[in-house]
Amino acid sequence: MTSEARPLWIAAGAVAWWLVSCRELGSPAGGVASVSRVVLPSPSVVVGDTLRDSTGVVAPMRVIAFGAHGDTIANPPTTFVVLDTGAHLAGSLLIGDKEGRTVRVVGTVAGLQTRPESVKVTLSPDTLVATDSIFQQKTYTAIGDTVVASAELRTTVSHTGGAGVAGVVVRYALERQPPGAQQRLLNGKVSSDRDTTDAQGHASRTLQIQRARKVTGQGDTTEVSATASYKGRRLGRVMFFLIFAMP
């Protein structure tokens, strides 16, 4: 082989190696073709505690792995990393360290990394109360008004001493409805029966009633409950009373 041909042979070999390497890197590692976001059992973690599910049980973070055909891969080996100070890991359990922080968590399965998922680090929630009055009266005209919406049904979740607690799920439920009417709980214009408290510990939903008939007398009353819990213990139960009536 001449000295002029040798560089061409080396270059061709390098290109071939690069093509093979790209194919190998593009192949699903361990059969994993894609991964979900980090699945959090709760949007917040309490200082000194781990993430817990909706029943109050200690629960790990998870990442769902999918094969090339969209099939779910059982028990994929997953590692997690916390990108910020304020919480630390014990395997797949996230433990809160510093109240008021928001930490980002990343999961990795077979070399595939998730997007960062944010978790609030909070004080322990102790109490759920109504933020405003629990009584509302909405009026409507006898002609034309078939859909009426309440004002916000606002609640506050707080820690002992009054500080609001963020990241707590508050569940709203229709407890009593007037006959002949259709009702739904809303987040804006979207049906939703739960809300996650903001930085001040506030959550809210509105109620929409669509009347199938005209009401008479004092009007129809709807009762809506709001509840929240921590470690399986109910923090409180707020009852809202809404009267829909003609003026």
- The DSSP secondary structure of the chain, one letter per residue, reads --TTHHHHHHHHHHHHHHHHHHHHHHSPBTTB-EEEEEE-S-SEEEBTSB-B-TTS-B---EEEEE-TTSPEESS--EEEEE-STTEEEETTEEEE-STT-EEEEEEEETTEEPPPEEEEEEPPP-EEEESS-SEEEEE--TTT--EEE---EEEEEE-TTS-B-SS-EEEEEEEE--TTEEEEEEETTEE-SEEE--TTSEEEEEEEEEESS---TT-EEEEEEEEEEETTEEEEEEEEEEEEE--
Mean pLDDT of the chain: 85
- Residue 8: pLDDT over 80: no
Q: What is the largest CA-CA distance in the chain?
A: 106
Between 228 and 162, name the one with better pLDDT. 228
- Taking residues 46-60, what's their average pLDDT? 96
- Residue 11: pLDDT over 90: no
Q: What is the pLDDT of residue 24?
A: 32
- Residue 231: pLDDT over 80: yes
Identify the architecture of domain 32-122 in CATH. Sandwich (2.60)
The verdict on domain 127-245 having CATH code 2.60.40.2310 is yes
pLDDT digits (tens, 9 = 90+) for 108-163: 999 999 999 999 999 999 999 999 999 998 877 656 557 788 999 999 999 988 89
- Taking residues 26-49, what's their average pLDDT? 86
Please, where in the chain does CATH 2.60.40.2310 lie? Answer: 127-245
- Taking residues 155-174, what's their average pLDDT? 94
Q: What is the pLDDT of residue 177?
A: 84
